[in-house]
């Protein structure tokens, strides 16, 4: 497997980030991967101040604009890099009800319910789920409307955070197991759980906004995500996006009382394969209600041992992560959150929260049809 070259890393590249074989000699010597530029001008414009910290041999390179990659020595699998520092922790007004993990990051209520079967919600509880899912969808759509080359994922996080608290809701990812931000933004080869930072979106990127824009409102969570193109994207990028979308919606068609959670993967995986893509195995869909993540576990790959039969009143997500190419495997950045494809190829994801009704399924987070996903 060999990359022909790496695209120009300059955020101000006037040439559209062409692939280049020209590398910073200092980075090369220090074993820092990926410092490629299309020419000396781009290199100088982003020139580094090398700062070597004491005995622990951490090499931190500050760009002139004050941003840096905190994991300089890490073997990144693609071209996306973290752009630190992260913005300060965002505040949530005191009047907004917080989930149990807002303070210490530990979802105690989830551990307490571990091992129990999926909850069947009463009609009142189902109505609360409808509300929070509708709000989640609103927030996602607002965030999505701001996608354009040049906006940073941190700015998207601010939009999500503010739209959420305006609705008197809590952004579910914030401090969940220590996650530092209010939304996950996953660009290109990032499969999921990308941390919003100062990286500017570039034309040709795809970005998944997981409004896992989950809102903790009235005691319940909503969870959805979509992958969006930034400007014009390549055909294979379009393909992986459409495939992920198709996988999700074909799986939703199977959902009704009596259907088995373990059967969803049997429909998803063939669609991925037929499109030259692979289904991520490490992360699964999940039950969602007063818990952010609970039973059932919903794998997206075929031949799984998932436990459970769908019953009216159950609420859960389906959220297939689809990688371009045949590698379903993944790697994690040293931030212990960002999951990336092992070969640097792009990954796309779509997610909805579903309610099983007496006769079928209701998509609680449903939004408008995305024309760009259909030919």
Partner 1 sequence: MLAEEDDVPSLIETDATATAPEVKTGIAAGSTVPLTIICGFLGAGKSTLVKRILTERHGYRIAVIMNEFGDTADIEAKTINVSSADDPTAQSEEFLELANGCLCCSIKDSGAAAIERLMQRKGAFDHILLETTGLADPGPIASMFWQNEEFAMGLGRDIHLDGVVCVVDAVFGRKQMEEDHAADGIGESLRQIAGSDVILLNKVDIPPPEEVEVTEGMIRGVNPAASIFRTVRGQIDLKLILGIDAYAAKPFAKLSEPETGSHTCDDQHCGHNHERGLTHYEMRGITSLQIDCPTLTASQLSRLDEWIRTILWENHLPEDESNPNILEILRCKGVFVVGDGKLYILQGVRNMYEIAEVEGAVDSATGVPDAGKLVLIGKGLDEHVRRSLQVLLE
Task: Cite the annotated binding site for a protein by residue number.
Answer: 193, 293
CA dihedral sign of residues 68, 69, 73, 78: negative
Q: How many of the other CB atoms lie within 10 Å of CB of 358?
A: 9
Number of residues near partner 1 (by CB under 8 A) = 53
Span interacting with partner 1, options 132-140, 144-152, 216-224, 303-311, rule CB under 8 A: 303-311
CB of 358 to partner 1, least distance (A): 18
Among 12, 15, 21, 122, binds partner 1 (CB under 8 A): 21
- Joined together, the tokens standing for residue 21 give 């074989």
User: Annotated binding site: which residue ranges?
Assistant: 193, 223, 286, 293, 319, 351
Does 30 contact partner 1 by CB under 8 A?
A: no
Does 212 contact partner 1 by CB under 8 A?
A: no
DSSP letter string, 94-123: TTS---THHHHS--HHHHHTTTPPPP---H
Among 9, 13, 23, 132, binds partner 1 (CB under 8 A): 23
Q: Which is closer to partner 1, CB of 229 or CB of 299?
A: 299
- E strand segments, 269-320: 277-279, 285-287, 294-298, 315-318
Span interacting with partner 1, options 48-56, 139-147, 159-167, 197-205, rule CB under 8 A: 48-56
- Interatomic CA distance for residues 183 and 185, integer angstroms: 6
CB of 58 to partner 1, least distance (A): 13
User: Annotated binding site for Zn(2+): which residue ranges?
Assistant: 223, 286, 319, 351
Span interacting with partner 1, options 75-83, 127-135, 216-224, 349-357, rule CB under 8 A: 75-83
**Minimal CA–CA distance to 89: which of 102, 99, 108?**
102
- Interatomic CA distance for residues 342 and 369, integer angstroms: 32
Does 58 contact partner 1 by CB under 8 A?
A: no
Span interacting with partner 1, options 30-38, 89-97, 104-112, 360-368, rule CB under 8 A: 30-38
CB of 30 to partner 1, least distance (A): 12
Task: Specify burial of residue 281 (Cβ count, 10 A radius: 0-12, 13-18, 19+).
Answer: middle
Does 204 contact partner 1 by CB under 8 A?
A: no
Report the half-sphere exposure of 105 (CA within 13 A, side-chain side). 6
Q: Which is closer to partner 1, CB of 10 or CB of 131?
A: 10
Site for partner 1 in 243-272 (CB under 8 A): 260
What's the first-to-final CA gap in the chain, in angstroms? 31
Does 36 contact partner 1 by CB under 8 A?
A: yes
Question: DSSP state, 68?
Answer: B
Cβ proximity of 186 and 193 under 8 Å: yes
- Interatomic CA distance for residues 362 and 240, integer angstroms: 26
Does 12 contact partner 1 by CB under 8 A?
A: no
Site for partner 1 in 174-203 (CB under 8 A): none
Does 314 contact partner 1 by CB under 8 A?
A: no
Q: What is the largest CA-CA distance in the chain?
A: 65
Among 147, 252, 342, 366, binds partner 1 (CB under 8 A): 342
**Minimal CA–CA distance to 198: which of 144, 151, 150, 154?**
154
Residues in contact with partner 1 by the rule CB under 8 A? 1-6, 21-26, 28, 33-34, 36-37, 39-40, 43-44, 47-52, 75-77, 115, 117, 260, 281-282, 297, 299, 301, 304-305, 307-309, 326-332, 342-344
């Amino acid at each position: 497997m060999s990359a022909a070259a790496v695209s120009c890393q300059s955020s101000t590249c006037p040439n559209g980030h062409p692939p280049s074989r020209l590398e910073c000699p200092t980075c090369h010597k220090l074993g820092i991967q990926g410092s490629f530029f299309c020419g000396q001008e781009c290199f100088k414009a982003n020139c580094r101040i090398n700062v070597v910290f004491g005995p622990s041999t951490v090499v931190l390179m500050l760009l002139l604009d004050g941003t840096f990659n905190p994991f300089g020595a890490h073997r990144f699998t693609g071209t996306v890099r973290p752009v630190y520092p992260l913005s300060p922790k965002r505040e949530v007004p005191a009047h907004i009800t917080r989930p149990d993990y807002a303070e210490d990051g530990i979802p105690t209520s989830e551990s307490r319910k571990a091992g129990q079967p999926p909850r069947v919600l009463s009609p009142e509880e189902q109505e609360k789920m409808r509300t929070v899912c509708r709000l989640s969808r609103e927030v996602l759509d607002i965030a999505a409307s701001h996608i354009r080359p040049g906006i940073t994922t941190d700015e998207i996080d601010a939009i999500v955070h503010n739209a959420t608290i305006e609705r008197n809701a809590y952004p579910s990812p914030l401090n969940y197991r220590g996650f530092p931000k209010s939304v996950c933004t996953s660009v290109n080869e990032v499969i999921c759980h990308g941390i919003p930072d100062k990286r500017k979106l570039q034309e040709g990127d795809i970005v998944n906004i997981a409004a896992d824009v989950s809102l903790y409102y009235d005691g319940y969570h909503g969870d959805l995500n979509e992958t969006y193109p930034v400007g014009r994207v390549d055909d294979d990028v379009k393909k992986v996006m459409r495939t992920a979308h198709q996988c999700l919606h074909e799986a939703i068609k199977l959902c009704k009382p009596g259907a088995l959670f373990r059967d969803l993967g049997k429909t998803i995986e063939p669609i991925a394969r037929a499109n030259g893509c692979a289904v991520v195995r490490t992360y699964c869909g999940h039950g969602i209600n007063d818990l952010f993540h609970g039973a059932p576990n919903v794998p997206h790959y075929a031949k799984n041992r998932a436990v459970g039969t769908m019953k009216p009143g159950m609420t859960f997500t389906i959220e297939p992560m689809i990688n371009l190419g045949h590698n379903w495997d993944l790697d994690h950045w040293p931030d212990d959150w960002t999951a990336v494809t092992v070969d640097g190829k792009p990954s796309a994801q779509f997610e909805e929260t579903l309610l099983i009704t007496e006769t079928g399924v209701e998509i609680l987070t449903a939004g408008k049809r995305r024309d760009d996903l259909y030919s």
